[in-house]
Amino acid sequence: MSENSNIGTYKFIAEPFHVDFTGHLTMGVLGNHLLNCAGFHSTDRGFGIATLNEDNYTWVLSRLAIELDEMPYQYEDFSIQTWVENVYRLFTDRNFALINKEGHKIGYARSVWAMISVNTRKPADLLALHHGSILDYVCEEPCPIEKPSRIKVASEKVKASLEAKYSDIDINGHVNSIRYIEHILDLFPIKLYKEQRIRRFEMAYVAESYYGDVLTFYIDDIGDGIYNIEVKKNGTEVVCRSKVIFTEK
């Protein structure tokens, strides 16, 4: 299926400031690359942010789930493939494969996106857009990882707290999607990363936060290396939830 023209393939190299202390690409940088690939792929097909903005629409990332056997090491070449799995009226599923320097698939990711009106913030009907031509790009490539799960967090004990600063804020004035990933991974002690690696990482984006918002982090340790995390702004509203599953190296 790899020659399928509905699959976009993009090449990368694991840059020195994009790897962690173990020398492997960070989850935040991988997330950034995945979202960029989504952007390249949709732009090439007439559904990119720039085109949408002309009509006052934009894509909003709702869910992201990444599951990996390994992460590229510093200076290694790797590539990311992306394709559209499903299009519904209000959501679309976009999947990814991570391919190492030898050409082997070492991981997959699933993402769920909505399109909203920039003016009203209300969701758009994806099937009505461009006379439904987005359906032409749906592609039956396998993505053998589970869909993003429903994450629940019971803890009310603040594990960490920070104020959203200049470097956290994107062009839309929101704390950017990647920064949440970094802040969440910073909840764990470096000892854990020495002994284990992240096998699966999930994000559910619920609401936007802004410059000066105080973000508080709550964590449930489920056992077996599974952690559920909730991020709230200003002590009340949920901003996002995450599930991190560690495994032995």
Binding site for a second copy (CB under 8 A): 15-17, 19-23, 26, 28, 32, 35-36, 39, 49-50, 74-75, 165-167, 169-173, 176-178, 182, 185-186, 188-190, 193, 211-212
Q: How far is the CB of 206 from a second copy (least distance, A)?
A: 19
165 vs 249, which CB is nearer to a second copy? 165
91 vs 188, which CB is nearer to a second copy? 188
47 vs 143, which CB is nearer to a second copy? 47
Q: How far is the CB of 98 from a second copy (least distance, A)?
A: 18
Q: How far is the CB of 83 from a second copy (least distance, A)?
A: 20
76 vs 141, which CB is nearer to a second copy? 76
Q: How far is the CB of 180 from a second copy (least distance, A)?
A: 12
d(CA 72, CA 114): 30
